[in-house]
Amino acid sequence: MALSELVSDILAFRTYLRAERGMAANTVIAYSHDLDRYAEWAATVRLADYTAPTLSDLSRYLGFLHDERLAAPSIARHLVSLKMFYRFLRLEERANPSAVELLGSPKLWERVPQVLSPESVDALLASPRAADRFHLRNRAMLETLYATGCRASEVVGLRIRDLYLDSAFCKCTGKGNKQRVVPLGRPAVTALRGYLDEGRSTARDGEEFVFVSRSGRPLSRIDLWMLVKKHCRRAGLPTSVSPHTLRHSFATHLLAGGADLRTVQELLGHSSIRTTQHYTHVDRKRLKELHKKFHPRG
């Protein structure tokens, strides 16, 4: 369905909240902002039919919100806004009733982060081709995402001065402007050197961001998000994969390889180890599956 129809429905929903529900102006504004973000995302991914979203669609949107660095309470509020919106569409006989049910589904709210296998990561990192216009930049961005486990915003925010390629590490600026040092593996260092030496455009206005467009403009989180989607399609990976998936994969692969939880916490920039402990649950599930598959009494 056309984006114009979604925008029209959002405007009608705002009127409904004010005129029929009598909600306060600030509440209506908050719902509107959340739904405007949803409309922008729907246009970007070309959502097939917003009146009948699938669990996969909604999970992809959750991944996008994670990539936007929204805190868990903010993501929960966005889901509440969507639920209110789809209830309104159901009243208007404009949406499939299952949409509201999906938004209340534990499968959505308690969804375990998606993790790629090492083989799938290899396929993704190998997907930029020499014939591509920006293959050196794209390969370097993908390698940096997985090598560091950084958030999308931290990767696009990297500056030349943050790279220490001779020593194989970089400085990332995370939430609250906190900086941390993250190692870079040999493939990432090689990809970054190739890009900086041969493929990087001249930065515009003297800015020294690492990853820039052809005109020298720093790339945005959305640019990186779209880049990952493009190369996932090429590598034959699920469309639900996002930059945050590589962060999840980075942490899970480290723990599976024997890294201790405190080290992973420091590398991810988590202020609380409770956040990092979530990845032990992901890995534990994988171990249970392996045990069940291969143990005689699994």
Residue 44, domain CATH: 1.10.150.130
Could you confirm whether 66 is annotated as catalytic?
Answer: no
Could you confirm whether 253 is annotated as catalytic?
Answer: no
Total domain count for the chain? Answer: 2
Q: Among the options 38, 61, 86, 279, which is catalytic? A: 279
Could you confirm whether 86 is annotated as catalytic?
Answer: no
Domain-embedded: residue 298: no
Short-list 293, 267, 288, 260, CA closest to 112:
288
Per-residue CA distances from 36 to 7, 179, 190, 222 (Å) = 8, 32, 40, 15
Domain-embedded: residue 296: no
Which of 43-57, 94-108, 213-227, 282-296 is least confident?
Answer: 282-296
Q: Among the options 78, 229, 247, 248, which is catalytic? A: 247
**233, 183: one domain:** yes
Contact 171, 159 (CB under 8 A): no
Q: Among the options 137, 151, 200, 248, which is catalytic? A: 151
Contact 149, 182 (CB under 8 A): yes
pLDDT tens profile 112-133: 456 788 888 999 999 999 999 8
Short-list 201, 199, 194, CA closest to 216:
201
Mean pLDDT of the chain: 83
**144, 94: one domain:** no
**172, 204: one domain:** yes
Domain-embedded: residue 284: no
pLDDT tens profile 159-196: 999 999 999 999 998 877 888 999 999 999 999 999 99
Q: Among the options 33, 129, 175, 285, which is catalytic? A: 175
**49, 194: one domain:** no
pTM: 0.60
**130, 198: one domain:** yes
The percentage of residues in the chain with a pLDDT greater than 70, rounded to a whole number, is: 85
Could you confirm whether 270 is annotated as catalytic?
Answer: yes
Could you confirm whether 244 is annotated as catalytic?
Answer: yes
Cα-flanking dihedrals φ and ψ of residue 169, to 5°? -155, 165
**104, 129: one domain:** no
**99, 136: one domain:** no
Non-local CB neighbours of 215 within 8 Å, separated by 6+ positions: 201, 204
Could you confirm whether 297 is annotated as catalytic?
Answer: no
**38, 87: one domain:** yes
Residue 243, domain CATH: 1.10.443.10
**138, 258: one domain:** yes
**141, 27: one domain:** no
Q: Among the options 60, 244, 248, 253, which is catalytic? A: 244
